[in-house]
Amino acid sequence: MSDPSTQVRLPGDAERLRCSGCGNLTRFDVTRTRRTREFWHVALSGDARVEDDTLLGQRVESISCRWCGRSDAIEIVGRADADPTSDPTGGSA
């Protein structure tokens, strides 16, 4: 179990996730809570459609590797630092 004082964050534009346990670069389970403001367009029939969505805030609760299941081995690395040959699928994100 991870330390609750450790802040979990999503990678920025020049970063990516990597599991140091198995080398996965492409498959992660991310649990997050989002607070949004939405503009709903409701048709006369009662069918609703969200036409605009604004993210007001979010909290990332956990990130775990889809392949090995570890959450304690997830790291954020620079995109240039991630070795695509270590990806078990042999592909890219």
pLDDT per position as a tens digit, 51-89: 999 999 999 999 999 999 999 999 999 988 655 555 444
Instruction: Measure the CA–CA gap between 6 and 67, rounded to whole angstroms.
Output: 23
Q: What is the pTM of this model?
A: 0.67
Query: Residue 71 domain-assigned?
Result: yes
Rounded to an integer, what distance in angstroms lies between the CA atom of residue 7 and that of residue 3? 9
Q: How many independent structural domains does the chain possess? A: 1
Q: Does 92 map to a domain?
A: no
Query: What per-residue confidence (pLDDT) applies to 82?
Result: 59
Angle ∠(16,13,86) on CA atoms, nearest 5: 20
How far apart, in whole angstroms, are the C-alpha atoms of residue 29 and residue 39? Answer: 28
Q: Report the pLDDT value the prediction gives residue 85, as an integer from 0 to 100.
A: 58
Domain residues for the domain of 47 are 15-83
User: What are the beta bridge partners of residue 15?
Assistant: 78
Residues in the chain: 93
Determine, yes or no, domain membership for 60: yes
